[in-house]
Chain A
Amino acid sequence: MQMTTTFDEMWGRGMGQSQGHSATASDDGASGGPNSRSSRMTQAQTMYEGLRPPYAAFDAWLKGENPGRLLRKQHEAEEVFRLTGITFNVYGRAEAAERLIPFDIIPRIISGREWARLAKGIEQRVRAINAFLHDIYHRQEIIRAGRIPVEMIARNAAFLSKMIGVEPPGGVYTHIVGIDLVRTGEDEFYVLEDNARTPSGVSYMLENRETMLQMFPELFSRNRVRPVSNYPLALRRSLAACAPAATRGDPVVAVLTPGLYNSAYYEHSFLADKMGVELVEGHDLRVVGGRVAMRTTEGYKPIDVLYRRVDDDFLDPLNFNPESGLGVPGIFDVYRAGGITIANAPGTGIADDKAVYSYMPEIVRFYTGEAPILQNVPTWRCNEPQALRYVLDNLHDLVVKEVHGSGGYGMLVGPTSSKKEIATFREKLLANPGNYIAQPTLALSTVPIFTRAGLAPRHVDLRPYVLVSPDGVTITPGGLTRVALKKGSLVVNSSQGGGTKDTWVLEE
């Protein structure tokens, strides 16, 4: 079955999942703050990153620049992306043009010191996620210890029982993770969402930098910006380090795509190309000699590590959705027998589920024995009487969501709701408190963007990309900054006027 997605869904959990991401500012505009209709956010104490020390050298350069030249550069950059988009368009559908995401030429700049702390927090969180996944698919100590309730897993559709007892090669579940962050203060970063399935968008991180290097080479001699271009090599190395026991010689890595009509196809082919590995589709692969092998001119060649951009349900029609034409029949059997590594491992969705998210601080503490470095958006679970009392007293300040809801349905955005709406919602909440969680609105930071009228502040989030292998955790400095191009908007989603920027992490 061929699933199609829009570009925006690249920000969800990858191909074939209609479930929107739950806790981002972009989707429902809620956990990170009220949506773009809200005026409250602009009144709140918003941190403007553009006046901070990391921007000093850049500002000095900018002051010497001719605005006309910058405008031309902005157009050139758009042209570069349009051309890339055309490559995409040739194979894609008629609406491919809509899938281009606007690019802003002003980089977002993070100091080395800031990054060091962030990176530590990300690594801690990612290690905890992997430990959690191993535990959930084995002894479930965290449930036995009473640290998270059994219903959180038992009633969760993301729990994949076929993964029970499976030891993934190298002990790694999430080979690639994207952690969505927002900033609210000097050292205050909140995690909006963990993407533990198939985080997308890394091709934008790489192309944004490539474009900036072409447009403004002089900037990179004035600023010591940590490179991101080695991501594909690091990805390949990290994947190869998770090769299964059956591997003979150098591990063979391949990227599995749902095909040309998938909205992220461009990224799939881009990554395969940059890694120097084969891009394959399900029908190119079959189980041969106890391995999953790809058809080549010299016959079938076994694959050791498959970076799949196909969802669990579509991965193997013999073991999961029998209607899937995108997967490889029997690949899960070969996986269980140790004949291939699937990255990310099936079943990792249980770690980035919205309901599980509220337990992340507990999860970090349980598996690392440390206090979490990165903050979770505080979440009140309304099934707890004290929390419910607080939520009822503060409905006008809070965002209240259904635990298993998505796409912004059935929720209350207190600051933008009328008294009547709040009263109606109060009844619903009282009737079934266990169905709801509540979160405060956050004052997201802003960064400068380039406009015809000069620089202007806009809200941003950040998705760093994290690689996990038995050799360790590798975080590419920076990541992808999404920016709400509309004034005052908190919606960084590309369908609603969101764009991207190059993200710089400076050497100390």
Chain B
Amino acid sequence: MHDPLRLHVRHVTTYDYETPVPWGLQQLRLTPQAHKWQRIINWTLSYEGAQHEATFEDQHRNTVDLVSVEPGATSLRITCEGEVEAIDTAGIVGPQAGYCPLWLFERPTPRTEAGPGCAALVDSVKAEPKLLLRLHDLSAAVAGAVRYETGVSQVGWTAEQALDEGRGVCQDQTHVFLACARAMGIPARYVSGYLLMEKEEQDASHAWAEAWVPDLGWVGFDVANGISPDNRYVRVATGLDYGEAAPVSGARHGTGGEKLSVSVEVRAQ
């Protein structure tokens, strides 16, 4: 179980536009960082219908690429692909890197504002005195309150909206976890990445949460799967919520609609 696992990832995001796009920009957070538990063997990011503008490291130390859509493009395809060797650390990510102070992760964002739904979840787990166990309890409680179901939630949903609906995807479950953890005064953050599952072909990248546990540092909690991340996970970007860790986000001109398709393949070598 502690053996390194070599994962091959291929993630393709395609936009098909109804009418040619005169102007557009996309911010890409599609480059995983090397860590003690995650070795990047090779990784490439490429695009068709766009050109590179700028690359920088954001406040969470994510590598961000800004690309512009080629004027007149009718489609944009962004592909990242590579091999990563991961080890199992029982979800422990460790110390905070970079300059973001821990208090930043205690503040709710508009998507992770705790309301009555989150308060009830917090109530259901707060009796557990051991922080690590309480966070595992929280993860389970969130999974029960927001059942995993694709095609229901909207990308802009807040934690409370997901709780009202009782259904959602990993993004929604993660937001609820973050809102509850922060409501308890525990620093927490959003993680986007990939997960090796039985099904190699997936239709979205994955998301989970990390919470700050004194003495351990950041510890991951994958609500959707009820576990802490192990050597089947590739950690790509972090942020206060989806908005800061989103794999692709952008803006464009043009009145026509667009069709977005995502394909993710994760295989063990």
Contacts of A165 in B (CB 8 A): 57, 59, 61, 98-100
Contacts of A286 in B (CB 8 A): 23
B66 near A334 with CB under 8 A, answer: yes
A161 near B53 with CB under 8 A, answer: no
Q: How far is the CA of A4 from the CA of B57 in the complex (A)?
A: 35
A336 near B58 with CB under 8 A, answer: yes
Closest to B59 in A: A164
The interface bits of chain A over 148-169 (1 if a CB of B lies within 8 angstroms of the residue's CB, else 0) are: 0010001000000111111000
B107 near A330 with CB under 8 A, answer: no
B53 near A330 with CB under 8 A, answer: yes
B98 near A164 with CB under 8 A, answer: yes
Least CB distance from B66 to A in Å reads 4
Contacts of B104 in A (CB 8 A): 154, 161, 164
Q: Does B25 contact A (CB under 8 A)?
A: yes
Question: Which interface class (under 10, 10 to 19, 20 to 34, 35 or more) fits B?
Answer: 20 to 34
Q: How far is the CA of A450 from the CA of B53 in the complex (A)?
A: 58
Q: How far is the CA of A434 from the CA of B68 in the complex (A)?
A: 48
Contacts of B61 in A (CB 8 A): 165
Q: How far is the CA of A289 from the CA of B53 in the complex (A)?
A: 6
Which of these, A150, A317, A339, contacts B54 with CB under 8 Å?
A: A339
Contacts of B27 in A (CB 8 A): 318, 333
Q: Does B251 contact A (CB under 8 A)?
A: yes
Q: How far is the CA of A287 from the CA of B55 in the complex (A)?
A: 13
B25 near A164 with CB under 8 A, answer: no
Interface-side segment among A136-144, A361-369, A470-478 = A136-144
A154 near B25 with CB under 8 A, answer: no
Q: How far is the CA of A334 from the CA of B66 in the complex (A)?
A: 8
Q: Does A290 contact B (CB under 8 A)?
A: yes
B25 near A287 with CB under 8 A, answer: yes
B99 near A287 with CB under 8 A, answer: no
Which of these, A154, A166, A333, contacts B66 with CB under 8 Å?
A: A333
Which of these, B53, B107, B240, contacts A333 with CB under 8 Å?
A: B53
A333 near B56 with CB under 8 A, answer: yes
Q: How far is the CA of A173 from the CA of B34 in the complex (A)?
A: 31
Q: Does B257 contact A (CB under 8 A)?
A: no
Would you give 30 A-B contacts (Cβ < 8 Å), ordered by A? A138-B99, A154-B104, A161-B59, A162-B59, A163-B59, A164-B59, A164-B100, A165-B57, A165-B100, A286-B23, A290-B52, A290-B54, A318-B251, A322-B251, A329-B25, A330-B25, A330-B54, A330-B68, A333-B27, A333-B53, A333-B54, A333-B56, A333-B64, A333-B66, A336-B54, A336-B57, A336-B64, A337-B56, A338-B56, A339-B54
> Assuming A162-B58, A290-B52, A330-B66, what are 15 further A-B pairs, CB within 8 angstroms?
A150-B101, A161-B104, A163-B59, A164-B104, A165-B61, A287-B66, A290-B53, A322-B251, A329-B25, A333-B54, A333-B66, A334-B54, A336-B54, A337-B54, A338-B56
Binding site for A on B (CB under 8 A): 23, 25, 27, 52-59, 61, 64, 66, 68, 98-101, 103-104, 107, 240, 250-251
